[in-house]
Amino acid sequence: MEKIAINTKCSSSEVHVGVSWQSIRGLLPEKGVIIITDNNIKRIYGDKFPDFPVISVKPGEVSKKLEVVESLTEQLLDLGIDRTGFILGIGGGVVCDVAGFLASIYMRGIRCAYVSTSLLSQVDASTGGKNGVNIGSTKNLLGCIRQPEFVICDPEMLMTLPEEEYFSGMAELLKTAIIGSEKLFEVIEVNREVLIKRNHDLLSLVISMAVNFKASVVSEDEREDGLRRILNFGHTYGHAFELYKSLRHGYAVAAGMALAADFSFARGHINGVGRDRILNVLKTYKLLRRYDIPDNQIGQLILHDKKKTGDDIYFVFTTGIGKTLIEKIPVSEIVEFYVKNKSVM
């Protein structure tokens, strides 16, 4: 087990990696706790939940809506949750997003924590304090940054993940390696068979490495004013693919990383060897999917990106495994590169 601290100017949080999720009982208040989960997680683990009221939502992005938050708010009121209340989210990225967003606005803010049940959530979504809901087709347009008191990442819970969901998380794990840790990249690169089998010890190691890196970034730049932007590697194209094709987040980001690696090579930021290592590992894990967006639609989709400022966007390039460069460039350049270099896989 490893306990990883995230300390910012205004708050602190702890991520517990490798510990059994059922140890949650020793970390919660004695009363005033409400558990938010989704129907799948409740079906698999609900009989082992701590003895507190449980509210369950539909799995997936369909629950990242204001009307869901409104319904949850009414249920919290009916259950008598006041300003001393505590929200525990047990689930993947969507549950953690919704639970954290609700905790940040309910009665102007109450305490919260997460049990992270998916690989994508354990290595990315549940760490860092970002919470949000979608408005229409735009992801996380309404949101906030609020650190949970703690997050539990139990690799044992990943054994029940569907294969598609597990590998979607593998893409975000690779993203962390590409932007910040050549050592982590090498571990993923040479241990494909072991990771595919979801080996507990190796998962604990790579999750800890990913969370340690993200914790260092968030501790320095909680509000994404500078360094934290590197976490968006692959996301400018990826969010467009996710929106247009309804791809799982990880697969959309994987396709975005492939294009970003090519873009980095075309601009002379990374050599061919580095670019090929990135593309090869994405192919080895079978993470690349079709994303053939019509040329006349890609620009409008990219304009939905929250990193946009006017007609420019902060684009994350790679300069080598574990290294990045952020450049503010016109959206038109990003669109032009896509049109000339897109692949339909």
Residues taking part in catalysis: 108, 130, 172, 214, 224, 228, 232, 235, 239, 249
Q: Give CA 257 to chain center in angstroms.
A: 15
Q: What is the DSSP string of 143-157?
A: EEE---SEEEE-GGG
**What is the DSSP secondary structure assignment for residue 14, as one 8-state letter?**
E
Residues contacting residue 90 through CB under 8 Å, at least 6 positions apart: 21, 35, 36, 37, 41, 45, 49, 114, 115, 117
Apex 119 CA angle, 281 and 116, nearest 5: 160
The tokens describing 58, both together, are 């539909």
Taking CB atoms within 8 Å and a gap of at least 24, the contacts of 141-145 are 141/306, 142/66, 142/101, 143/97, 143/101, 144/101, 144/104, 144/105, 145/222, 145/223
Residues contacting residue 54 through CB under 8 Å, at least 6 positions apart: 34, 35, 36, 37, 42, 46
Q: What is the distance between the alpha carbons of residues 5 and 253, in angstroms, rounded to a whole number?
A: 27
**CB 114, CB 92: distance < 8 Å:** no
Pairing of strands 33-38, 54-57: parallel
- Exposed e or buried b for every residue in 26-36, given b needs 16+ CB within 10 A? eebeeebbbbb
Q: What is the distance between the alpha carbons of residues 269 and 272, in angstroms, rounded to a whole number?
A: 10
